């Protein structure tokens, strides 16, 4: 990758080991020639992998003996042009420990400088204007390095050798605090002190970060958090928080060693950590959630603010709910003016918006929920090189897209839901940018089969040699195969809200046997109509009513159950007519809708304010209890079709008996668990395959996923969870890309 300091590292190491020779980048990677004693060369080889810079990735090392040339010096040779083209752009990276040390060292010339960075840390992807990655082509071009900075930049032995964003108090960017009430703007250290004071007073601050603005309040201040929610129109969705250290996080969370490793990784993602009861964080930060989404500081400015004595600050994306994050100073003032009381900005421009990444822990595995800062645009390796450059445009919700060049897939950062003009603009803008940075000219465009997805419409507008339509759940499973380098065929369990099927109906509880080229569907949940289509997503009561109608017929309208009673009786009559005649009631086998319905039956979340909320809250209600409801296919021979009606009747009986909803929720989850086991066993019996890939947003449900993992492993399956892209629709573009590569290869 470019700009991660690998060549200077090799240079320093070779000199330390008293070796002569050279290092250069070529199109296959890094080539090093060494001349010296065998022992010194062995020492070098050993240290090479152990001490490599944090941002470098060594895939493999090959060694070859060459004739000695009596060399006496070690040099960095200029790279070949071809090599420049093949090198990869590094993601942005959290401030390293060395830089944090200097930041708080009063004798250092960068003491408290908010833009301190080095070759091992700092911005990359968000400041690159064009290819190749070099200072004049970054947003640092307007700052001319002072002689001290330039000397570091030019010295191969220095930690800041070729660190493109290198800067200091004398020559680099600065921070400014703007208060819209006309207060004179304060600068730098004063701005940091004033910002901390405003936060302590309960004010809302917009803070410019690496990939956009955050909206911030003191996370221990209930009133301030409530005001932020009101102004941002965000009712219930948990807010991310930032805390100064692991020690502080342990005062309100119970992080496992896996959580702690993720929290302190160079990517510094938001990690979903179990709450510790009775901690100091305001209840409204993550109401009715078992977790806090928490992260550590990742820019020097964050470190400076957090050291002002905060336990935690809310750090939520600087946007109106459902819009992309703001990056520009003027844009922030315009779009966030109604939300923030003051703006802590700076004059290093951000060229691409990128949200914080989010990672959950399932068992001991890290499962991404949102892949963005710190990860994009790093590539994921495909099993084989593709014949063409490919663009895969992804799904409609939680969109990412993906480029393919040779054997690398480059998934974009999380773009989000494409249903607003501003989001669609963001989608097209990042496509153009990445296309330039990666030097690709796609002749193959892959897209979802759903005709109404805006990403599909974009794909069809864009001319190409081949347009490849990919079934949604096939893409889900193949993305998991790519991440784990699985060849051949696998059993795929794809459980999600909605995906367009090859038969034109809505799928979402799928047992597939899948390879890179094709798939077969061996089982599913019997479809239930969605009266009013997507209106069922907003109103789980409607969906519950439809499930009840399937189980009880017209008698459903008279059941003494809260979702039925919440629907006015006139509307119930209309719903029954719609369901009887099949008017505007597309059948769906989506597992998300099943969760919504059960959630409504248990009164868990009748008025969801964000996507997936009923299912998420249903999970948090689940007790650790063993029982399950009947959810059986009529035959064990594929295709297995699971009828939900007996389960619904059993759950309704439990409600009638006054069984606690914690127990009913657990029994429901256990039924889905047993469906997953039966599906896998039937697929193994039919095909002999024993590898199972789990994908779809439902596998963000920790209760279910951990149990499926355990039960299938116990039965001898090898089970694969996502580990680089999310199980939700953020993974679709990667799957589309790999399938299109396979289908367009010779
Ligand atoms: Zn550093
Ligand atoms: Zn300087
Ligand atoms: Fe999906």
Residues 522-533 as b or e (16 or more Cβ within 10 Å = b): bbbbebbbbbbe
Least confident interval from 429-438, 603-612, 638-647, 681-690: 603-612
Q: Is the pLDDT of residue 79 over 60?
A: yes
Range of the domain at 352: 175-358
720 token code pair: 């694969």
CA 476 to ligand 3 centroid distance, Å: 7
Dihedral sign (CA 314, 320, 323, 329): negative
Is there a single domain that holds both residue 181 and residue 68? Answer: no
Q: What are phi and psi of 515, to 5 degrees?
A: -125, -175
611 alpha carbon, closest ligand: 3
205 & 338 share domain: yes
How many structural domains compose the chain? 3
Q: What DSSP letter does each residue of 240-263 carry, written as one string?
A: PEE-S-HHHHTTTB---HHHHHHH
From CA 72, how far away is CA 135, in angstroms rounded?
32
Q: With respect to residue 487, please indicate whether it lies within any of the assigned structural domains.
A: no
In a domain, 352, yes or no: yes
**Mean pLDDT score across all residues of the chain:** 94
Percent of the chain having pLDDT more than 90? 82
Cα-to-centroid distance, 153 and ligand 1 (Å) = 13
Give me the mean pLDDT over the 569-598 stretch: 96
Cα-to-centroid distance, 159 and ligand 1 (Å): 8
Q: Is the peptide bond before 639 cis (omega within 30 degrees of 0)?
A: yes
Q: Looking only at Cα atoms, what is the longest distance across the chain?
A: 94
| Nearest residue to 198 via CA among 95, 90, 310 | 310
pLDDT band per the 50, 70, 90 thresholds, residue 607 = confident
Q: How confident is the model at residue 80 (pLDDT cuts 50, 70, 90)?
A: low
Task: Report pLDDT digits (tens) over 293-339.
Answer: 999 999 999 999 999 999 999 999 988 767 777 888 888 888 898 99
Average pLDDT on 476-498 reads 97
Question: What's the 434 CA to ligand 1 centre distance in angstroms?
Answer: 26
Q: What pLDDT, on the 0 to 100 scale, is given for residue 134?
A: 82
Residue where a domain terminates, one of 76, 100, 134: 76
Ligand nearest to the CA of 102: 1
Positive or negative: CA dihedral 239, 241, 247, 252: negative
The secondary element (H helix, E strand) that includes residue 85 is: helix 81-86
Q: What is the mean pLDDT of residues 179-183?
A: 79
Cα 109 to ligand 2 centre (Å): 9
Indicate whether 45 and 182 sit together in one domain. no
pLDDT at 84 over 80: no
- Domain identity same for 63 and 192: no
Q: Span 598-627, mean pLDDT? A: 91
- Residue 22 placed within a domain: yes
Q: Which of 343, 358, 373 is the last residue of a domain?
A: 358
Identify whether residues 58 and 181 lie together within a single domain.
Answer: no
Give the residue-averaged pLDDT of 626-653: 95
CA of 1 to the centre of ligand 1 (A): 17
- pLDDT bucket at 62, cuts 50 / 70 / 90: confident
Give pLDDT, residue 558. Answer: 94
| Radius of gyration, CA atoms only, the chain | 27
Q: 114 CA distance to ligand 1 centroid (A)?
A: 12
Separation in Å, CA 458 to CA 417, 425, 515, 531: 14, 11, 27, 29
- Residue 182 is predicted with a pLDDT of 73
What are the distances in angstroms from CA 57 to CA 53, 97, 267, 318?
A: 8, 19, 14, 32
pLDDT the model gives residue 331: 85
- From ligand 1's centre to the CA of 96, what distance in Å? 4
Q: Is residue 551 part of a domain?
A: yes
**36 inside domain:** yes
CATH classification of the domain holding 674: 3.30.420.40
Boundary residue ending a domain (358, 382, 401): 358
Check whether residue 42 and residue 180 sit in a common domain.
no
Distances (CA, A) of 315 to 92, 216, 352, 547, 621: 18, 5, 19, 40, 27
Mean pLDDT computed over 364-378: 96
Tell me the ligand closest to 117's alpha carbon.
1
Q: What is the pLDDT of residue 2?
A: 67
Q: Where are the beta strands (DSSP E) in 165-225?
A: 175-178, 186-187, 205-208, 213-218
Query: Minimum-distance ligand to the CA of 300?
Result: 1
19 within some domain: yes
Give me ligand 1 centre to Cα 166, in Å.
Answer: 10
Ligand nearest, relative to CA of residue 123: 1
In terms of DSSP bridges, do strands 490-500 and 313-317 run parallel, antiparallel, or are they unpaired?
A: unpaired
Is there a single domain that holds both residue 663 and residue 531? yes
Residues 186 and 39 in one domain: no
Task: Summarize pLDDT for 27-61 with one digit per residue, the tens.
Answer: 667 889 999 999 999 999 999 988 888 778 787 78
CATH number at residue 282: 3.90.870.40
Looking at residue 85, what is its pLDDT? 60
Q: How far apart are the first and last CA of the chain?
A: 30
* Residue whose C-alpha is closest to residue 448's, from 517, 401, 393: 393
Distance CA 83, CA 626 (A): 58
Tally the C-alpha atoms within 13 A of residue 470's C-alpha that lie toward its C-beta: 40
For residue 217, is pLDDT > 80? yes
Average pLDDT over residues 619-646: 93
Q: What is the pLDDT of residue 663?
A: 97
- The answer as to whether 453 is a domain residue is no
Q: In this structure, what CATH number is given to the domain that contains residue 12? A: 3.30.70.100
- Is residue 547 within 8 Å of residue 644, measured between CB atoms? yes
Same domain? 194 vs 330: yes
Q: State the ligand closest to the CA atom of 731.
A: 3
669 in any annotated domain: yes
Q: How many helices (H) and strands (E) does the chain have?
A: 24, 28
| Region for residue 84 given its phi and psi (left: phi exceeds 0; alpha: psi -120 to 50; beta: otherwise) | alpha
Do 209 and 333 share a structural domain? Answer: yes
Asked if the model's pLDDT at residue 81 lies above 70, the reply is no
In three-state form (DSSP H/G/I as H, E/B as E, the rest C), the secondary structure along 570-621 is: HHHHHHHHHHHHCCCCCEECCHHHHHHHHHHHCCCCCCCCCCCHHHHHHHHH
Q: Which of 197-206, 535-544, 714-723 comes out lowest in average pLDDT?
A: 535-544
The β-bridge partners of 447 are 469
């Amino acid at each position: 990758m470019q700009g991660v300091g690998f060549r200077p590292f090799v240079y320093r190491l070779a000199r330390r080991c008293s070796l002569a020779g050279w290092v250069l980048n070529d199109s296959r990677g890094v080539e090093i020639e060494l001349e010296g004693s065998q022992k010194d060369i062995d020492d070098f080889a050993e240290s090479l992998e152990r001490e490599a810079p944090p941002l470098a990735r060594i895939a493999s090392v090959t060694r070859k003996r060459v004739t000695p040339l009596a060399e006496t010096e070690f040099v960095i040779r200029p790279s070949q042009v071809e090599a420049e083209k093949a090198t990869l752009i590094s993601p942005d990276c959290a401030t390293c420990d060395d830089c944090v040390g200097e930041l708080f060292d009063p004798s250092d010339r960068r003491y408290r400088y908010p833009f301190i960075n080095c070759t091992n840390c700092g911005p990359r992807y968000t400041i690159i204007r064009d290819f190749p990655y070099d200072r004049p082509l970054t947003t640092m071009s307007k700052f001319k390095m002072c002689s001290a900075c330039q000397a570091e930049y030019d010295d191969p032995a220095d930690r800041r050798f070729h660190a493109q964003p290198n800067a200091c108090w004398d020559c680099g960017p600065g921070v400014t605090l703007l208060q819209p009430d006309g207060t004179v703007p304060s600068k730098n250290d004063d701005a940091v002190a004033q910002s901390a004071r405003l936060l302590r007073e309960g004010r809302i601050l917009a803070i410019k970060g690496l990939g956009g603005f955050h909206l911030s309040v003191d996370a221990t201040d209930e009133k301030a958090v409530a005001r932020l929610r009101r102004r941002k129109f965000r009712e219930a969705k948990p807010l991310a928080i930032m805390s100064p250290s692991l020690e502080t996080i342990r005062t309100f969370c119970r992080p496992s060693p896996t959580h702690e490793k993720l929290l302190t990784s160079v990517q510094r993602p938001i990690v979903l950590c179990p709450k510790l009861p009775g901690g100091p964080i305001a209840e409204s930060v993550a109401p009715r959630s078992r977790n806090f989404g928490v992260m550590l500081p990742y820019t020097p400015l964050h470190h400076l603010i957090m050291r002002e004595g905060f336990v935690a600050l809310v750090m939520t994306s600087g946007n109106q709910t459902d819009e992309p994050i703001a990056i520009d100073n003027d844009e922030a003032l315009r779009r966030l003016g109604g939300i923030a009381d003051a703006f802590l900005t700076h004059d290093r421009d951000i060229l691409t918006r990128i949200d914080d990444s989010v990672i959950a822990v399932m068992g001991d595995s890290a499962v991404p929920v949102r892949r963005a800062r710190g990860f994009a645009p790093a590539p994921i390796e495909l099993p084989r090189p593709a014949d063409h450059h490919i663009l895969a445009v992804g799904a409609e919700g939680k969109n990412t897209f993906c480029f393919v060049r040779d054997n690398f897939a480059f998934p974009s950062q999380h773009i989000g839901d494409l249903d607003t003009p501003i989001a669609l603009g963001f989608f097209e803008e990042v496509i153009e940018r990445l296309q330039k940075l990666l030097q690709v000219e796609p002749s193959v465009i892959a897209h979802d089969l759903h005709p109404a997805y805006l990403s599909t419409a974009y794909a069809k507008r864009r001319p190409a040699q081949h347009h490849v339509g990919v079934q949604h759940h096939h893409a889900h499973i193949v993305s998991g195969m790519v991440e784990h380098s699985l060849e051949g065929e696998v059993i795929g369990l794809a459980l999600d809200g909605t995906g367009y099927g090859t038969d034109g109906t809505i799928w979402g509880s799928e047992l597939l046997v899948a390879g890179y080229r094709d798939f077969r569907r061996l089982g599913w949940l019997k479809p239930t109509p969605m009266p009013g289509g997507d209106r069922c997503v907003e109103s789980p009561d409607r969906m519950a009513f439809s499930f009840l109608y399937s189980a009880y017929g017209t008698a459903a309208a008279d059941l003494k159950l809260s979702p039925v009673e919440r629907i006015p009786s006139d509307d119930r009559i209309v719903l029954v007519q719609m369901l009887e005649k099949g008017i505007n009631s597309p059948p769906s086998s989506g597992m998300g809708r099943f969760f919504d319905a059960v959630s409504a039956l248990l009164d868990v979340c009748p008025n969801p304010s964000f996507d997936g909320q009923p299912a998420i809250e249903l999970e948090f209600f689940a007790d650790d209890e063993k029982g399950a409801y009947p959810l059986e296919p009529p035959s064990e021979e594929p295709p297995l079709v699971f009828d939900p009606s007996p389960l619904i009747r059993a759950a309704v009986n439990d409600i009638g008996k006054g069984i606690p909803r914690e127990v009913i929720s657990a029994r429901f989850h256990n039924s889905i668990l047993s469906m997953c086991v039966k599906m896998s066993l039937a697929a193994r019996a039919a095909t002999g395959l024993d590898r199972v890939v789990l994908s779809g947003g439902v596998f963000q449900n920790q209760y279910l996923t951990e149990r499926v993992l355990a039960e299938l492993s116990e039965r001898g399956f090898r089970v694969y969870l996502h580990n680089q892209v999310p199980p939700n629709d953020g993974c679709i573009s990667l799957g589309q890309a790999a399938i299109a590569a396979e289908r367009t290869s010779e």
